[in-house]
Structure 1
């Protein structure tokens, strides 16, 4: 089977997904077209132009049995510019949607990204979402947006989108399920850019946090929670991981100043092996995100043995039990303090089983969707 895979905004999570997809079906003939994840407004509006009138034009016009594309692709425009692909069965994968994104204070509020989501959803033959939260916020958001327009809005748009949508999360790599702690003593110094040998007692709660250091990842929540733990006299250390930027929220710098003695690993960990061993030796993985459509980082940490503590909102209620979800920053502090008391008492911390999200279990479901669409 000849399959064309389009990733119009090839961010890390999209890249991880499409690499896994290609590896899962090695007998299929894959052709990949990607565009770099930068200049967001231009990329989501211009990808069809870049491909249809650029070097990729000849590739698009080849005979395909199936097209798989991410939701960042302007599929309706691409099919208009390249009529040869109009009749090819097309699956659109939604890693996210533009209706549920928190908007930064300095962002220009345009409805065009949301309209492009609607156009692409209508142009695709089957729509796959990584969570029900993602699917529902797109459909509900589209309904609210369409009501704002003054006239000539056809009925049934959201019903059409809903009818052809399915929820199939991104699988976790099988290797993650097989990682174990090394037999020798784990040396935090070897994994920390701070290059400090820390004498970590067994009654110290080790908390990992990992995300882009951007406005939507809840640095203010994190700062509040760490202050609460300090006030409660909880003995803790933090792995504050992720990529920082020039315009990262000021709270990240505040955390480094205020909790310098509590920081164990700081910044982006380039080695995947090192990153996973850090998670393997953490008691807690804390999410403070204001938007998350699946949260692969939290799932991966849970598989590696860390207890996830997550907001009681967004996609998290689908995947995590109530006892591990917090309703406020103060509630998060209480839950973390309770886990600390369990650690001190020698009790095992609660785990979450994600074995049903392995590649072995999940790629079968993808295949079913691909094959059924082609047969129909």
Structure 2
């Protein structure tokens, strides 16, 4: 089969996902992309830009697009020759927390809804994300004046699936003799943005330090021109602990740093899967994650009580233990690495391939029946 891959925000996790999917699908793929900037403009204009570059719709058996493009616009412009579309939700615009400098804008959320209505298959990157999408959209529609629009969600739900993204763990195999001796290294490998809630992370570090627990610190993760003030303060507050504050462009260098860490922490308010956490676990890090969002899905149930925390006090107490416990106690958690390997692309490509092939066959079956 031949698939057209459309990514209107080709950067970060969006880029990693689309590149990985193209590399592992056992079909021919042709990818069209736009730079990862001006996301609202991308959502509104990407269909126009992509349709201009696509000459023969009948050359493709199917399309994969992410929610940074209006699928409704694209299919309307493509006309009756448009092949079936799988729409992949990395995030949705209903529950994405606005930055302190922005206001709530429901236009992108409506684009998400019309895209989902127009798509043939709607895929979410976690069960938690799917649940929050429908919950938030339901609350949104209930604010509308009559007539009732809740039927839209029933239509979308009927064609929705959960497809975890694949991860590329190549180069992340830690040495069998990796040391977990004190002091242990804590890593932040998330984006330096407000929705990742860095303030709570640095607060927990300060509280643990007050308990005379020593640690090393690596501040990895992508950053933009503007970063939260908490990072600037942390660079001074924890200067004696920081052994790295960088985001290596080369993935090999990034993995090399990550493989030296011992504890990965998230304090995020917004996370729909958690590739950064999965990568850290594959590198042998022990995760400390909030018991919300998609994080419970990244861990086996038997590790929930020790690796998921309910509030900041729970994070502090568990971090104190992980950063100071004997090495033999720390090593009891190393089975997590084998667990997280289920998110490797070699495993995840199987359900992706089935979903795409089923979508194409269903479309051809409908056309063949004359409906």
**Which residue of 2 is the match for residue 356 of structure 1?**
342
Cα drift, residue 176 of structure 1: 4.9
Q: 5+ unaligned residues in a row in structure 2: which ranges?
A: 363-371
| Aligned counterpart for 1:124 among listed residues 97, 112, 119 | 119
Q: Flag the 1:235–1:345 CA change in 2: closer, same or farther, 3 A.
A: farther
**Which residue of 2 is the match for residue 335 of structure 1?**
318
Cα distance in 1 for partners of 2:156, 2:90 equals 16
Contact 1:238–1:265 (CA under 8 A) maintained in structure 2: yes
Contact 1:210–1:241 (CA under 8 A) maintained in structure 2: yes
Q: Does 1:240 align with 2:190?
A: no
**Which residue of 1 is the match for residue 63 of structure 2?**
67
Cα drift, residue 151 of structure 1: 2.7
Cα drift, residue 345 of structure 1: 6.5
**Which residue of 2 is the match for residue 197 of structure 1?**
none
Contact 1:229–1:333 (CA under 8 A) maintained in structure 2: yes
Cα distance in 1 for partners of 2:2, 2:249 equals 35
Q: Does 1:31 align with 2:30?
A: yes
Q: Does 1:58 align with 2:55?
A: yes
Cα drift, residue 70 of structure 1: 0.8
Cα drift, residue 181 of structure 1: 3.2
**Which residue of 2 is the match for residue 198 of structure 1?**
none
Q: Does 1:136 align with 2:110?
A: no
3-state DSSP of counterpart to 1:35:
strand
Cα distance in 2 for partners of 1:251, 1:359 equals 35
**Which residue of 2 is the match for residue 256 of structure 1?**
235
**Which residue of 1 is the match for residue 87 of structure 2?**
92
**Which residue of 2 is the match for residue 78 of structure 1?**
74
**Which residue of 1 is the match for residue 282 of structure 2?**
303
Contact 2:138–2:150 (CA under 8 A) maintained in structure 1: no
**Which residue of 2 is the match for residue 372 of structure 1?**
358
Cα distance in 2 for partners of 1:49, 1:161 equals 24
Contact 1:9–1:43 (CA under 8 A) maintained in structure 2: yes
**Which residue of 1 is the match for residue 175 of structure 2?**
181
Q: How does the TM-score come out when normalised to structure 2?
A: 0.90
**Which residue of 1 is the match for residue 297 of structure 2?**
318
Cα drift, residue 346 of structure 1: 6.2
Contact 1:342–1:348 (CA under 8 A) maintained in structure 2: no
Q: How does the TM-score come out when normalised to structure 1?
A: 0.89
Contact 2:322–2:330 (CA under 8 A) maintained in structure 1: no
Q: 5+ unaligned residues in a row in structure 1: which ranges?
A: 187-200
Cα drift, residue 220 of structure 1: 0.6
The farther-off stretch of 238-247 and 117-126 is: 238-247
Cα drift, residue 207 of structure 1: 0.6
**Which residue of 1 is the match for residue 273 of structure 2?**
294
CA offsets per residue over residues 277-313 of structure 1, 9 Å max, x none? 2222211011122211001010011011100111111
Q: Flag the 1:174–1:317 CA change in 2: closer, same or farther, 3 A.
A: closer
Cα drift, residue 212 of structure 1: 1.7
Q: Does 1:149 align with 2:144?
A: yes
Aligned ranges 1:260-271 → 2 under 5 Å: 260-271=239-250
Cα distance in 1 for partners of 2:237, 2:81 equals 56
3-state DSSP of counterpart to 1:100:
coil
RMSD between aligned residues: 2.1
**Which residue of 2 is the match for residue 193 of structure 1?**
none
**Which residue of 2 is the match for residue 190 of structure 1?**
none
What is the aligned residue count?
Answer: 355
**Which residue of 1 is the match for residue 367 of structure 2?**
none
**Which residue of 2 is the match for residue 15 of structure 1?**
15
Cα distance in 1 for partners of 2:55, 2:127 equals 37
Cα distance in 2 for partners of 1:40, 1:72 equals 7
Cα distance in 1 for partners of 2:105, 2:224 equals 24
Contact 2:141–2:150 (CA under 8 A) maintained in structure 1: no
Cα distance in 1 for partners of 2:214, 2:33 equals 46
Aligned ranges 1:152-163 → 2 under 5 Å: 152-163=147-158
CA offsets per residue over residues 176-209 of structure 1, 9 Å max, x none? 56x23399x99xxxxxxxxxxxxxx932021111
Contact 1:217–1:291 (CA under 8 A) maintained in structure 2: yes
Contact 1:169–1:294 (CA under 8 A) maintained in structure 2: yes
Contact 2:9–2:15 (CA under 8 A) maintained in structure 1: no
